[in-house]
Structure 1
Amino acid sequence: MKLRTRLTLWYGGAFFAAGAVLVAVVYLIVRDRVTANMPVSGDSVESLVQARAQLGMTDEQLTALIDTVIQRQQAANDATLQAVLFGSIVALVVVGLLAVVFGSLMAGRVLRPIDAITATARRVADRSLHERIDLDGPNDELKRLADTFDGMLARLDRAFEGQRRFVANASHELKTPLAINRTLLEVAAAEPDAGHRVRDLAANLLAVNERHERLIDGLLTLAGSEQAPVDPVRVDLADIAAHVAAQFADEASEAEVAVEVANAPGVVVGDAALLERLVANLVANGIRHNHPGGTLAITTGTVERRGRIAVSNTGPVVAAYEVDALFQPFRRGEGRDRVESVRGIGLGLSIVDSIARVHHGALTAVPNRDGGLTITVEFP
């Protein structure tokens, strides 16, 4: 049950319990007073003995008359008690229902600040950390909760802003020396008097330099993909898949991997650059972790109003228990962990998972029976 429903039920139950106790107490008091005021047959006879001559009645007739009066009074008292009890119960039910309605309204009013906190948290999670609740009112529990939440948002905002500045500065500081190294190596290798060994060494160092550049680019993309899209637009996954497949056509041909594309419209809302990176990483992963003569199938479409892309490739057999580890940074298949590889830097699927999460997508990866993976991402 919702908290508002539980509070209403608790309030209504407490009111009905208190009302039932009140009805019982009133009933017992009325019954006691009515019983105490009832005449007793023998005492009445003694009090009226002196008047029997005036009434012209014998003792037996007078006693019978008094008993009849007492019986009728008792019946009238019983009817009165029943009427009091029935009326009290009806009033309790009517007022109790009104109290339940009133309790629901009061619970909604009391919980309104919590709804404001929840709405702000949802907006912050979807966009940025700059928004605050700024709840007005007395310094009660809800005001202190809202102020604490605002303080937490302020600290998170400063932390994320510091992280963004650090990533931007680190990327500049790291890319600049790498670019200088690449230029120096290319110049040294192009010298006319450079020997064979110098050219080989330069080629190896350029490969290492390029790998480090890819690593830095991957880390920057991974850090940037943790932020929700600022200006989401409508994007067709079919167009992205066709564009990415054309980009990787030469690499697939060199790896002797046949690329099969089955594109149907799959419109989603998000960051076009991040979605293109997601598809590119899936395709690159499917080509580089494949074998000569293998296949790579790219399928897009719409399933239950959700945009969907699926990339399936042949390749080495992947155990089911290893699938989750493939989406962790610097993890690769075939039992390798944090080891340099000519086929990648171990961030491709981590970036895919991060982009899918910030777009509220559902990512699944299933090992194929004959080897390889089928990775599916569905977007709202």
Structure 2
Amino acid sequence: MKKLTIRARLTLVYAAFFLVGGVVLLGVTTLLVSQQVPSAISGKHILSSTPSEPPMDEGRQMLSEQIRTATTTSLMSQGAMGLLLVGAASVGFGWLVAGHALQPLHRVTETARRLAGGAGRGLHERIVMNGPQDEVRDLADAFNLMVEQLDAAFDGQRRLVANASHELRTPLAMNRMLVELAVSRQGASEDCIQLGTSLQTVNERHERLIDGLLTLADSEHGITERTPVDLADIAGHVCDQRGVPCDGVAAAVTRGDPILLERLVQNLIENAVEHNVPSGLVCVSTKTVGEDAVLTVANSGPIVPHYEIESLFQPFRRLNRERTGGGRGFGLGLSIVRSIARGHGGSVSAVPRHGGGLVVTVRLPGPGTASPREAV
């Protein structure tokens, strides 16, 4: 059962207090009137009676009781009708008052959603709250302080990633250049050439590792600039580079970073090619489902248990939950795919393929659909 909102609960509280107060007031008024009616009638008869007549006989007592009963009944019935009408009006008035009181909280909620989605100014946005220094103002100030600290932390992380990109890639590029010079020089021995080739392989492996880590870090920061991108074009380009058939592609337009989306498709296709059996199957397809762009990559290969699928999306993990060693790949491919998909407001899922292998499906919001990160 869906719970009532705070606004509805406050409205019901306001209306309940009003109705209880109205019922008490009506009861007290009825009691006072019922006590005053006999006295008024008795006094009237006392003044009009002769000294020889008794001031109050049995007939007059019956008349007094009838008048009191009629007055009380009329007062209660009309008072109840008026109380119901005014109670209904109090519900509407309470709804407006509660909405006005909760308006600052709505501003806090909208700002928090924009910050969570990375839309607008991102973590540089603050809540501007005018008015007295009350509880809501204290909440807004505490929220702004928290966002300011998070903004400083993320800025430091971004600077660290940029510095690491430069500091790590520069020495590797120099090592690659020195090894190439040593191998290509005249008079280089066969052992020197073989050693240089091995060093180049190790150096390229380290460059791929650093590139994967930086891509993973960049994709987790969120996507700030988005442009229309057709996954069919990207899939066709990557399939041509890898020599993979690409016959099942159809228009699948989304909005995002073209470079990161190309890396997503490239990682999926390379993962399907590398973790396959000889002369195995690789199927790539794109389509539009509803308003979402869907990319599916399936391959043959070893049988993957259901309980092992989630571990494949963890960094530096491969099948059977083993840490990656000196073999092929680093176990970052699917981790990067999930991070990029989430950064674009989408999702990625994988299921075992019948006969072995995996079927990986990426679902991204269409160009006219606000992703959960952008929704306000």
What does residue 64 of structure 2 align with? 73
Change (3 A) 1:24 1:341: farther
What is the number of equivalent residue pairs in this alignment? 356
Selected match of 1:323 from 304, 309, 317: 309
Instruction: Confirm or deny that 1:232 pairs with 2:226.
Output: yes
* Farther off after superposition, 151-160 or 222-231: 222-231
Change (3 A) 1:230 1:39: same
Shift, 1:209, TM fit = 0.8
- Percent identity of paired positions between Structure 1 and Structure 2: 45
**1:134·1:150 contact (CA, 8 Å) conserved in 2?**
no
Selected match of 1:166 from 157, 160, 170: 160
Matches for 1:12-27 after TM superposition, within 5 Å = 12-27=15-30
Selected match of 2:178 from 160, 181, 184: 184
Selected match of 2:6 from 3, 19, 27: 3
Shift, 1:320, TM fit = 0.8
Unaligned runs of 5+ residues in structure 2 are: 366-376
Three-state SS of the structure 1 residue aligned to 2:11 is helix
**2:311·2:321 contact (CA, 8 Å) conserved in 1?**
no
Three-state SS of the structure 2 residue aligned to 1:269 is strand
**1:294·1:314 contact (CA, 8 Å) conserved in 2?**
yes
What does residue 104 of structure 1 align with? 95
Distance 1:187 1:180 in 2: 11
Shift, 1:290, TM fit = 0.9
* Farther off after superposition, 184-193 or 142-151: 184-193
Unaligned runs of 5+ residues in structure 1 are: 53-61, 253-258
Change (3 A) 1:5 1:341: farther
What does residue 338 of structure 2 align with? 353
Instruction: Confirm or deny that 1:298 pairs with 2:284.
Output: yes
Shift, 1:35, TM fit = 5.4
Matches for 1:79-94 after TM superposition, within 5 Å = 79-94=70-85
Residue 182 of structure 2 aligns with an amino acid whose one-letter code is: A
Three-state SS of the structure 2 residue aligned to 1:229 is coil
Residue 4 of structure 1 aligns with an amino acid whose one-letter code is: R
Selected match of 1:213 from 207, 227, 236: 207
1:181-240 Cα deviation digits (max 9, x unpaired): 111111112233322222222211111111110111111111111133222111111112
Three-state SS of the structure 1 residue aligned to 2:224 is coil
Shift, 1:39, TM fit = 5.3
Instruction: Confirm or deny that 1:241 pairs with 2:204.
Output: no
Q: Once superposed, what is the RMSD of the aligned Cα atoms? A: 2.3
In the superposition, the TM-score normalised over structure 2's length comes to 0.88
Which structure 1 residue ranges, 4+ long, deviate > 6 Å from structure 2? Answer: none
Three-state SS of the structure 1 residue aligned to 2:197 is helix
**1:225·1:354 contact (CA, 8 Å) conserved in 2?**
yes
* Farther off after superposition, 10-19 or 30-39: 30-39
Instruction: Confirm or deny that 1:370 pairs with 2:355.
Output: yes
- Which of structures 1 and 2 has the larger relative contact order (alpha carbons within 8 angstroms, sep 6+)? 2
Three-state SS of the structure 2 residue aligned to 1:129 is helix
Residue 241 of structure 1 aligns with an amino acid whose one-letter code is: A
Selected match of 2:36 from 33, 51, 76: 33
What does residue 374 of structure 2 align with? none
